[in-house]
């Protein structure tokens, strides 16, 4: 029975790994990219012209534009100036710049950060469960009496200790 369990775990581990190779690569790349999400790394400047209601107050303008850290720098009777651009009170046109990720990187980031509001949140759940299976099934890759298995246990313990230390930094 034990041999069958070990063999089954190795087979499932192998083919699930092949099946998920593409999605693992995407999550790895998007995870590394997200380390830089509070910077402009990978982002490009995009010019935006947006038609809004006329004669908005500065507060209403900030809410309408949904710009993080929106702040008015100057204003006149006709124009509101803000760091990213201008808003013409008479025409309702806002001209401003935003920093955006290229389309593919933006899609990868959205998939990586999917919540239950996303139609593909189930993918994150499946992927997380698969990674957990990889963790457990990896202990069936080698016979318990071998030196490779024993060394693997030491490496696993070291990885767990490092993880706990990183959690509290």
Torsion angle of the four alpha carbons 126, 128, 130, 131, in this order, in degrees rounded to the nearest 10? 160
Does 111 lie in the same domain as 33? yes
Same domain as 62, residue 28: no
For the stretch 21-42, pLDDT in tens is 999 999 999 999 999 988 999 9
Q: Into how many domains does the chain fold? A: 2
Tell me if the pTM is above 0.85. Answer: no
Rounded to the nearest 5°, which phi and psi values hold at 140?
-100, 5
Same domain, 67 and 150: no
Within this chain, do residues 92 and 67 fall inside the same structural domain, yes or no?
yes
Alpha-carbon gap, residue 108 to 151, rounded angstroms = 36
**76, 48: one domain:** yes
Instruction: Give the pLDDT confidence of 89-130 residue by residue, as tens digits.
Output: 999 999 999 999 999 999 999 999 999 999 989 999 999 999
The Cα 90–Cα 99 span in angstroms is: 27
- Residues 81 and 64 both lie in one domain: yes
Q: Determine the pLDDT at residue 103.
A: 95
Instruction: Calculate Rg over the CA atoms of the chain.
Output: 25
Given this model, what pLDDT does residue 143 score?
Answer: 85
Do residue 25 and residue 60 come from a single domain? no
């Amino acid at each position: 029975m034990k041999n069958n369990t070990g063999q089954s775990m190795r087979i499932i581990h192998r083919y699930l790994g092949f099946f998920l190779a593409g999605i693992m690569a995407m999550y790895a790349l998007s995870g590394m990219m997200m380390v830089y999400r509070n910077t402009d790394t990978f982002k490009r400047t995009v010019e935006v012209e947006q038609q809004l209601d006329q004669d908005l107050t500065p507060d209403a303008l900030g809410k309408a534009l949904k710009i993080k850290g929106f702040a008015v720098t100057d204003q006149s009777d006709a124009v509101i100036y803000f760091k990213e651009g201008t808003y013409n009170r008479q025409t309702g046109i806002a001209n401003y710049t935003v920093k955006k990720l290229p389309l593919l990187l933006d899609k990868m980031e959205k998939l990586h950060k999917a919540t239950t509001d996303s139609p593909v949140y189930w993918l994150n759940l499946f992927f997380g469960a698969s990674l957990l299976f990889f963790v457990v099934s990896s202990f069936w890759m080698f016979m318990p009496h071998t030196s490779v298995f024993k060394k693997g246990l030491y490496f696993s313990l070291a990885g767990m200790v490092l993880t706990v230390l990183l959690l509290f930094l």
